[in-house]
Structure 1
């Protein structure tokens, strides 16, 4: 009986030691980081907030961000079922330090400074670069939140657009009617369309030596937009709109805010274009904060 009692006691001690070992591993071992993200000042309790897309939609499944921090560089995390999950490599916290993370969208496999073209055939979410910085996490707080925490007295760690956006709305004026025969296309001249984006810092740069025109097809639409590299402009932009076999031309006013003669990162500049048979009027830019920028009403005569 005594032998059996000692055997059970030894077994109990062994199991207790195993349980204690597991607790130590769970508390002090590597802990996987969890990431949530928001765009601009839109903060919610879930990572589903307004996204990079130029249509104001939510993060879509398959959207991929690149994350740097805790000794990891340019690690892809993909949006799946409402959350960001590691594409192949998981970011772990391996110590008790608090780590700071940066992230960008869309993911670039090479990382670093990547080439960017804003030509007509490159337009879309592939060049809609966003950047977020300063989000923190640790073993004890593994959720890294790329959101705006200023309402709680914290920092804005949310994603922000790093490109600029020009938006057009085309309207018929005096003597014209669209009625199913909308403008066919438009050509915008006076901007540089080659540059770079730094995935580590979120900065952009223009590398093109000269300005070049960009022609966008409308396909029956009366609205259109062009993502461009942030840049200063020294001359006014020329706009040509093709309608009913004729070309309508005008000069667009340069931005005045947030900085004069500058298309600034994270701003959208809206031009309302009215085609007329007679008269051209160009109103002074109206600032509406992608974070909005200038809104301009422009009338074009033939």
Structure 2
């Protein structure tokens, strides 16, 4: 069967051109139907627990030559936004996908500076692979079926995340005054994401830099960073016109892909107490207690 590429808006054919038992009829072309979920309800996309309207992913497979095909989340499902992927024989084929979509695909470069943190979905790179489908079973399920003895083909986070939660410690009240901002120091803020392999990595040649985030009255803040080797990270918190300094010890000496490193920062009368660090999925990481003095 020849490759057939059609503009979705002009195509008058149902995406599932088959009967209820998924059998092809009248030799009609069969289009791939895309189902996708983000790994683990706890491991959410930066902007929430579900896909947002008009989220875009790039889908590829090698047998038929489809590469970086744009599908868009609209009305509760992914639909093609141009080219439609059609099966060209009866054999199963394997698909991969990434988020967020880029027209060029390949190796994308990005920064995770303070400006980029204001639009975290744009740097929350996700990747999925291993989903198979065919003319007789055209649904491409980027889902986790391990509970049913299947395979985890869902989207996984490729970046690393740090989440800090600030609490009032001994001799401190947040009723009138709260921490204003914090700075993480000694980080590599630039890097790349390979849409074909799902590998995100920091730029090894870049100079380390500081990342300052305003809190705006909130007591929990998260940042997304490129995975990188980092045994420790400097932390400075501005509270009541004073700077409190501490060092975050990173478990295993690295910010790893898919991990959310969470610390509770207790602001005390003259120092900060850094509680345990946990990994959540975005995965919790445990660390020791660190005190920070003025």
TM class, shorter-chain normalised?
0.7 to 0.9
Structure 2 Cα separation of the partners of residues 64 and 52 of structure 1: 16
Q: Deviations over 1:34-66 (max 9, x none)?
A: 010111145xxxxxxx77522542111111111
Match in the other structure for 1:221:
218
Please give the alpha-carbon distance, in whole angstroms, between the structure 1 residues aligned to 2:103 and 2:150: 32
Give the superposition deviation at 1:180: 3.9
Q: Which runs of 5+ in 2 are unaligned?
A: 1-18
Q: In the alignment, which residue of structure 1 is the partner of 2:92?
A: 98
Matching residue within 241, 246, 252 for 2:248: 252
How does the TM-score come out when normalised to structure 1? 0.82
How far off is 1:29 after superposition?
3.2
1:268 Cα deviation (Å)? 0.4
CA distance in 1, matches of 2:32, 2:278: 44
Q: Per-residue CA shift, 1:123-158, capped at 9, x if unaligned?
A: 111000110001011111100100112222221101
Mapped pair 1:210 → 2:202: no
Shift of 1:179: 1.1
Q: TM-score, normalised by structure 2?
A: 0.84
Residue of structure 1 equivalent to 2:11: none
* Residue among 247, 259, 270 paired with 2:262: 270
Report how many aligned residue pairs link the two structures. 268
Conserved in 2, the CA contact under 8 Å of 1:274 and 1:300? no
Contact persistence 1:172–1:274 (CA under 8 A): yes
Aligned to 1:192: 188
Q: How far, CA to CA, are the matches of 1:181 and 1:128 in structure 2?
A: 32
Any idea what the Cα deviations from partners look like across 1:270-301, whole Å, max 9, x if unmatched?
01111122355455545555133346655443
Change in Cα spacing, 1:131 to 1:253, as seen in structure 2 (3 Å) is: same
What is aligned with 1:13? none
Structure exhibiting the larger radius of gyration computed from Cα positions:
1
- Point out the structure with the larger helix share: 1
